[in-house]
Amino acid sequence: MSILVGRDSRVLVQGITGRDGSFHARQMKEYGTRVVAGVTPGKGGASIDGIPVFDSVEEAVAKTKANVSVVYVPAALAQDAIYEAVDAEIPLVVCITEGLPVRDMVEVAAYLRGRSTRLIGPNCPGLISPGQCKVGIMPGFIHTPGRIGLVSRSGTLTYEVVWQLTRAGMGQSTCIGIGGDPIVGTRFVDTLALFEADDKTDAIVLIGEIGGSDEEDAAALIERHVSKPVVAFIAGQTAPPGRRMGHAGAIVSGGAGTAQEKMARFERAGVPVAKIPSEIPGLLAAGIAKRGPKGLRVVRGGRRKAAKPGGKKAAAGARKAAAGARKTAARRKTTKRKPIKTKRRSRP
């Protein structure tokens, strides 16, 4: 069923009476998403395009059984909106809002540890399982249903790549924008594990950019736990060090987080790196062709091993490794504290 969102997703829009919230609620509904509720404090009882508006997330969930929330509230209120959705135990929260202070996200990240909610974003376009469900601000028409999974830190660059895939006849299972901030709820490693486990995804496109080390972590995970072909692209090869390139997280600091390092790390992991976006469809096709007949998987490092596509074993390994990466990070915080359980629900 693709990953994270699908036909069964019941979407709640936080900030539905705002300019962006109402516009995108309508767009999502037109795409075929089941938008079941909206929340704006003080506007309970209203209705936007036939979507009932509630005063609180708790009430909206009780009345409509929403299982995905998408947040369009202004940055100053976004932390509170995320907390409200997490406390209402919504399994998947997607925060589109840009401009959250880092401190707010440090606090959110700490609060999410050990809780069952998965957060995507902030500062992201959202996610879409083409033909089934769109949660976010991406233009629906550029997508087409298919078997390529795509994950990206960017917005319009993602659209560009999706559009090129669509025109090359390569449909998508799910496309996820994880956001351009230094701290985001869901990272590359998390989505790679989900794509590896999804039997509707054959190959994965990863679009990274300068800053941080999430791409390096992704390469390390792919090396050991991902059997499906992956193609990577990294934006920002010409970015000067020490300068923020639009996204709060896109900055080379202290010589670390350069595009060149990330590209080299992927190459070392056996992941083909597209030099320019238009190379992506060709590299994907080559990767899929190389994987050979159905049931025979190329395991990185040259060994060949028989396994079912989307084999449970490989997928479980990837999930475990992704959770492990999180745990290590959590443990590093305070050595005294007990390692916290970070397993998250993979499907709402």
Partner 1 sequence: MNLHEYQGKDLLRAAGIPVPPGEVARTAAEAVAIADRLGYPAVVKAQVLIGGRGKAGGVKVVQSAEELAREAGRILGMEIRGHRVHRVLVTPSAAIEREYYAGIVLDRKSEAPILMVSPAGGVDIEEVARTTPEKILRLHLDGRGLPGYRARAAARFLDPRWEIQRALVPVLIRLAAVYHENDASLAEINPLVVTAEKGVWALDAKVVIDDNALDRHPDLAALRDLAAEDPGEVEARDSGLSYVRLDGGTIGCVVNGAGLAMATMDLIQYYGGKPANFLDIGGSSNPDKVTAAMKILTWDARVRAVLFNIFGGITRGDDVARGLIAALDRMKVKIPIVIRLTGTNEKEARDLLGARGMTALSDMDEAVRTVIARAAEAA
Where in the sequence numbering do the catalytic residues fall?
247
The residue within the footprint of partner 1, chosen from 247, 297, 319, 344 (CB under 8 A), is 247
CA dihedral sign of residues 127, 194, 33, 233: positive
The residue within the footprint of partner 1, chosen from 51, 86, 133, 142 (CB under 8 A), is 142
CA dihedral sign of residues 268, 226, 122, 116: negative
Nearer to partner 1, 99 or 292 (CB): 99
Give which of 184, 186, 218 is closest to 204, Cα–Cα. 218
CB 231 within 8 A of CB 289: no
Residues 314, 9: Cα–Cα separation, whole Å: 26
Q: Is 124 in the site for partner 1 (CB under 8 A)?
A: no
Number of residues that bind partner 1 (CB under 8 A): 67
Q: Is 343 in the site for partner 1 (CB under 8 A)?
A: no
Return the structure tokens found at 152: 């990206």
Identify residues 273-332 at the interface with partner 1 (CB under 8 A): 275-278, 329-330, 332
Query: Taking every pair of C-alpha atoms in the chain, what is the biggest distance, in angstroms?
Result: 61
Stretch in the footprint of partner 1 (CB under 8 A) among 38-46, 151-159, 168-176, 288-296: 151-159
For residue 329, the minimal CB distance to partner 1 (Å) is 4
For residue 346, the minimal CB distance to partner 1 (Å) is 20
Give which of 196, 152, 202 is closest to 173, Cα–Cα. 202
Interface map 178-217 toward partner 1 (x if CB under 8 A): --x-xx-----------------------x-xx-xxx--x
Nearer to partner 1, 66 or 234 (CB): 234
Residues 152, 179: Cα–Cα separation, whole Å: 7
CB atoms within 10 A of CB 345: 11
**Which DSSP string corresponds to 258-307?**
-HHHHHHHHHHTT--B-SSGGGHHHHHHHHHHHT-STTEEEPTTS-EEE-
The residue within the footprint of partner 1, chosen from 8, 32, 49, 76 (CB under 8 A), is 76
* Number of residues in the chain: 348
Q: Is 156 in the site for partner 1 (CB under 8 A)?
A: yes
Interface map 85-114 toward partner 1 (x if CB under 8 A): --------------xxxxx-xxx-xx----
The residue within the footprint of partner 1, chosen from 42, 45, 50, 255 (CB under 8 A), is 255
CB atoms within 10 A of CB 107: 15
Q: Is 144 in the site for partner 1 (CB under 8 A)?
A: no
Q: Is 158 in the site for partner 1 (CB under 8 A)?
A: yes
The residue within the footprint of partner 1, chosen from 37, 137, 193, 252 (CB under 8 A), is 137
Residues 189, 339: Cα–Cα separation, whole Å: 19
Q: Is 250 in the site for partner 1 (CB under 8 A)?
A: yes
Q: Chain-centre distance of CA 13, in angstroms?
A: 18
Q: Which residues bind partner 1 (CB under 8 A)?
A: 23-24, 27, 75-76, 99-103, 105-107, 109-110, 137-139, 141-142, 152-160, 163, 180, 182-183, 207, 209-210, 212-214, 217, 233, 235-240, 243-250, 254-255, 259, 275-278, 329-330, 332-334
